[in-house]
Structure 1
Amino acid sequence: MRVLVVGGASGIGKALAAEIIDRGGEVVLSGRRQEVLEQAVGTLGDRASWVIVDLADEASIASAAAEVGSVDHVVSLAADHANGAVGDLHAVDIRKAFDAKVIGPILLAKHFAPSIAVGGSLLFFSGVAAWKPAPGLAVMATTNGAVAFLVEALALELAPIRVNAVSPGIVDSGAWDFMGAGKESFFAETARANPAGRVGTPADVAAAVLYALSDTFVTGTTLHVDGGGRFA
């Protein structure tokens, strides 16, 4: 299994890459920063490589597709947040968020679909904010929601290539470390509210991704990996 992982140099993406390699697969990590990609590949071993992909730049995507060649799956975890009250939002930040979650994935489909092997798939990341919106998260809710509709449309248009999404909830992936000492109480509160009784781990999300990649009867589907958090 050869998988292109967009945004896979850290957190959930790196955990997914490591799991694919542990199962005997090959991973091509991609993102905008060469030094970050090189560092990640250095820790993953000789079945990992890297290529520059900027989801806001179609030429970058086309070039990467030509360089990478045939793959079994393309997974994009990319995100570019534009959080805040609507009155404080700037158009340039909103567009970056849509580039990462909606426009970029469409262009990945455009340029990589011809190179996806029989039985292969595209998988994009949505997120719990689409099902549990909150003040200050209008852009995040909208872009994540768009992913869920996008995979349904692409699953029909690109068939027999499969197209799916994974929608994580609150996951201890390192993304919340900016909260400092407040992270522990935030996680504890989240765990109490979640039906599953805990926050997620990168391994939880990686398992869902690997299921979506391997089950050839699953397409046009969004898998919720949120511990029931969208209901809490």
Structure 2
Amino acid sequence: MTDAMIIGGGSGMGLALARTLLAEGREVTIVGRSEDRLAAAAAELGQEDGKLGAMRADIGREEDVAELFARVGKVEHVAVTAADATGVYGPTADVPTQTARSFVDAKLLGAWLVAKHGAGRVTGSITYTSGINAYRPNGSNTIVAAANGALASLAYGLAVELAPVRVNVISPGWVDTPIWEQLAMDKRAAFTDLAARLPARRIGTPQDIAQAFTSVMANTFMTGAVLHVDGGHRLT
């Protein structure tokens, strides 16, 4: 049994969450598609006391998810932060259907597969990651907004179905993570512009989101909820 499994724990928000939980003395398993990225994350986390494990899996593939839970056995908390936005931004007419389908497979159906194969093995909570585009679509992220928005409904249904295991969603705003490198844009200029308009007056950090995850994991009266951690982005 492990205390927490972080799917997408090799970088960004997932890596920050792993660091936070390890600092609390938790046993953590990070999961990702890239063995090289997992190895780099493990080296960065620098755990030599047996509290950190790493497993390769693609949550868009059911056989990977089934094997993942078979190997890990019981796990108290599961956090899903995995995301790959390559090719899905742009006008709907320009996004290849297979690219959109692959994104939905990983983001939404992958989340469902985690619940399907985690049922009976997860003892505490499952927490998914959606995003601000579900609430503030901008005309170039429609399939991303749709998949992220659907995660809330998925969590509502699973919170009832899997009870007393708790199922929640963290919805970040703009956070400075490696996913921005997948987008064809001037990241610094965009960050500067948005930070000036946000009530929080800054862009989010992976640690901001990690703190939200740990609070949701700890709150045993919170289920079927979406926690917005967006610096007030929905208000602008």
* Interval of TM-score (by shorter of Structure 1 and Structure 2): over 0.9
1:184 Cα shift? 2.7
Structure-2-length-normalised TM-score: 0.93
Q: 3-state DSSP class of the match of 1:9? A: coil
AA matched with 1:107: L
Q: CA RMSD in A?
A: 1.7
Asked whether the equivalents of residues 75 and 123 of structure 1 are also in contact (C-alpha less than 8 Å), the reply is yes
- 1:115 aligns with 121
Segments of structure 2 that go 5 or more residues without pairing to the other structure are none
- Partner residue in 1 for 2:210: 206
Aligned 8 A contact 2:35 2:56 in 1: yes
Contact 2:172 2:230 in 1 (8 A): yes
CA displacement 1:59-86 (0-9 Å, x = unmatched): 1110110101111111111123211111
SS in 2 for 1:21: helix
Aligned residue type for 1:113: A
Distance in 1 between the 2:185 and 2:220 partners?
Answer: 43
Q: In structure 1, give the amino acid aligned to 2:94.
A: D
Partner residue in 1 for 2:65:
61
Using the alignment, how far apart are the partners of 2:40 and 2:151 within structure 1?
A: 29
Using the TM superposition, give the Cα deviation of residue 98 of structure 1 relative to its aligned residue in structure 2, in angstroms: 0.8
In 1: Cα distance, 2:230 partner to 2:185 partner = 23
Query: For residues 178 and 94 of structure 1, do their structure 2 counterparts lie closer, same or farther at Cα, with a shift above 3 Å needed?
Result: closer
Counterpart Cα distance in 2 of 1:84 and 1:202: 25
Alignment counterpart, residue 192 of structure 1, candidates 193, 196, 199: 196
1:167 matched to 2:171? The reply is: yes
- 1:10 aligns to what? 11
SS in 2 for 1:227: coil
| Structure 1, unpaired ranges of 5+ | none
- Following superposition of structure 1 onto structure 2, how do residues 10-29 of structure 1 map, counting pairs within 5 Å? 10-29=11-30
Matches of 2:36 and 2:165, distance apart in 1: 32
Task: Give, as a single letter, the amino acid of the residue that structure 1 aligns with 2:52.
Answer: A
Corresponding letter in the other structure for 1:51: M
Asked whether 1:87 is paired with 2:97, we answer: no
- Size of the alignment, in residue pairs? 230
Is contact 1:80-1:96 (8 Å) kept? no
Contact 1:191 1:198 in 2 (8 A): yes
Go from structure 1 to structure 2 and tell me whether the alpha carbon gap of 1:227 and 1:69 turns closer, same or farther (over 3 Å shift): same
Equivalent residue number for residue 234 of structure 2: 230
Is the Cα contact below 8 Å between 1:172 and 1:202 reproduced in 2?
yes
1:177 and 1:199 map into 2 onto residues whose CA distance is: 16
**Equivalent AA in structure 2 for residue 32 of structure 1:** R
Identity %: 39
1:112-136 alpha-carbon deviations (Å, 9 max, x no partner): 121112xx00000000000000111
**What secondary structure sits across from 1:122 in the alignment?**
strand
For 1:179 and 1:91, locate their aligned partners in 2 and report how far apart those are by CA, in whole Å. Answer: 18
Q: Aligned AA for 1:37?
A: L
Which deviations, in whole Å up to 9, do the C-alpha atoms of 1:10-61 show, x marking residues without a partner?
1111111000000010111111111211221122213211112111210111
Preserved CA contact (<8 Å) 2:166 2:223: yes
Q: Which amino acid aligns with 2:36?
A: E
**Moved >6 Å (runs of 4+):** 178-181
